[in-house]
Chain A
Amino acid sequence: MSIIRKYRFLIARRFVQIGLLLLFVGGNYFNWTILKGNYSSGLFLDTIPLTDPYAVLQILFSGFMAGTDLLIGAAIILLIYGFLFGRVFCSWICPINIIADAAIFTSNKLASKPKMKLSRRTRYGAMILGLILSTLLGISAFEAINPIAILHREIIFGLGTGWTIIVALFIFDVTITKHGWCGHLCPLGAFYSLISRFSLLKIKHNNDNCTNCMKCFAVCHEPQVLSIIGKQNGLIKSGECTNCGRCVEVCEDNALNFNLGKNNKINILGASSRGFK
């Protein structure tokens, strides 16, 4: 029981990630109408369009007026992530996250040292470069090579050879730069980081309970966002936090919880059952 509790968000995330993939797969093979298309552009319940806003931005930068459905879909996604949930795409939805987490697990087991140091800001450069290249080439530059899209297309449409890129990405993450793709290079993650600064769902730190055990730093894949831990009460404000909830699970001192809204004290899925202090 305690193991399940210790990994409750991780289990929930895998459930959501794989569940969404299955819904898309069913949409293709069995004509399920819950989710059609894929993560680049989907259709929810045959009516609500959902679109990757960075992909739409690339289309616009390449000089093509994207279709209305795409624009509406992108606006919906921008609202959901930017206003409500923050950068949850990266940890709760993106299928590459499973590969990236597996790569971190593997590199920890192998105790492999990173060979190449990359700045976490590289991704913002990549994000802007993607838009510039889209303009110069007249095509969506990141979508042309996007490993996330390659992976979900492989799975949803049962293609064949794209997995080689995914293996390459896994090996890159294990041997060259730890968390290299998701944490340093991915332009889509950078884009979602930028729009997630002011989202409602944040991690809240209660410094009075914190014992400086540093367990949250050990599990966090974007540890630079944890700068206030052990120092002051408050929210983890950075948009780079993916709201994965790993820090909440490992915290045994009830010092970290999900928080919805800036001032109210709604603790969703928090540590309600153990707080006998």
Chain B
Amino acid sequence: MTSRREALKKLLNSAMVVGGGGLVWGNIAKASQSSPVTLRPPGAIEENKFIQACIKCGKCVEACPYDTLKLATIGETSALGTPYFEPRKVPCYLCTNYPCTEACPSGALDLKELQKESEDKSEDKSEEINIENARMGLAVIHKESCIAFGGVQCDACYRACPLMGKAIVLDKEVNEFTQKHANLKPVVNSDYCTGCGICEQVCVVEKAAIFILPVELATGNVGDHYIRSWKENDESKLKNQKLIEEGKDTDVESAIDYLNSDEELFE
């Protein structure tokens, strides 16, 4: 009897140690591996998968000829041990032979990610690996601190952009203040922006007015409800929608009655 009790106690004790240890370990591990605002090397797979896949070997860092990439240590914004870059310090110069992506043994950086066709299918449809298909992030402009928006002629980011005229275009507008000059406002096109961050690095103001955010943070999503019939293929969204089955969850007649009755509106 006592031996069973002792055994149970021992079992409970070990269970507590394992459970407690597991909770502490799990929390620290999760905390050390979360990095929603990190910019990854070109060809990185989706962030959640990236953190799973990356073995933290640093071969991409070694392959980078510009010392752009760094491995995160304790207390940095990136998940511990994973590669990241800070474009204001050193941006990605879009090597045409993508040495970092190629060096990755784990699949966290995947050449297939550089093969994707852009959404705008007007130009070449080739599936060749091209560094310009990289989507490390998306440039975002804070127009209140951008001096070009303020009327000064500055096109530093536009000129520095490796996809000049595509990823950043200049929007011309009459300068209302002088009435005879133009404001040349930089506008980012997310169809082309690779997130390389050269614009952020060259921005002349004290704290860059154009900067790179991870695509996930810098983009919205129209969703399926709003359909622009004038846009090619937009109506295909209809197929995704679950149509409301009549008479099941909705009382169609009462809905129509409600719309026809104007009593409450004019009370």
- Point out residues on A near B: beta carbons under 8 Å: 27-28, 31, 36-38, 40-43, 49, 51-52, 55-56, 59, 62-67, 69-70, 73, 125-126, 129, 132-133, 136-145, 149-150, 153-154, 156-157, 159-162, 164-165
A139-B33 in contact (CB<8A): yes
A153-B73 in contact (CB<8A): yes
A42 and B25 CA atoms in complex are apart in Å by 27
A139-B105 in contact (CB<8A): no
Minimum Cβ distance to chain B for residue A37 (Å): 4
* CB-defined A-B contacts under 8 Å, sample of 5: A70-B105, A140-B55, A149-B56, A149-B81, A157-B61
Answer yes or no: B26 CB below 8 A from chain A CBs.
yes
B62-A144 in contact (CB<8A): no
Shortest 7 CB-CB contacts between residues of A and residues of B: A69-B105, A41-B57, A144-B29, A159-B73, A67-B107, A37-B57, A64-B52
A142 partner residues in chain B, CB cutoff 8 A: 29
Which of A43, A56, A145 has most B Cβ within 10 Å?
A: A145
B22-A133 in contact (CB<8A): yes
Count residues of B near A (Cβ-Cβ below 8 Å): 34
A69 and B57 CA atoms in complex are apart in Å by 12
B61 partner residues in chain A, CB cutoff 8 A: 28, 157
- Point out residues on B near A: beta carbons under 8 Å: 18, 21-22, 25-26, 28-30, 32-33, 48-49, 51-53, 55-59, 61-62, 70-71, 73-75, 79-81, 104-107
Minimum Cβ distance to chain A for residue B67 (Å): 10
Task: Return the contact of B32 from the options A56, A73, A145 (Cβ within 8 A).
Answer: A145
A132 and B29 CA atoms in complex are apart in Å by 13
Which of B53, B75, B79 has most A Cβ within 10 Å?
A: B53
Decide: A156 near B29, CB < 8 A? Known: A69-B105, A140-B52, A161-B74: no
A154-B73 in contact (CB<8A): yes
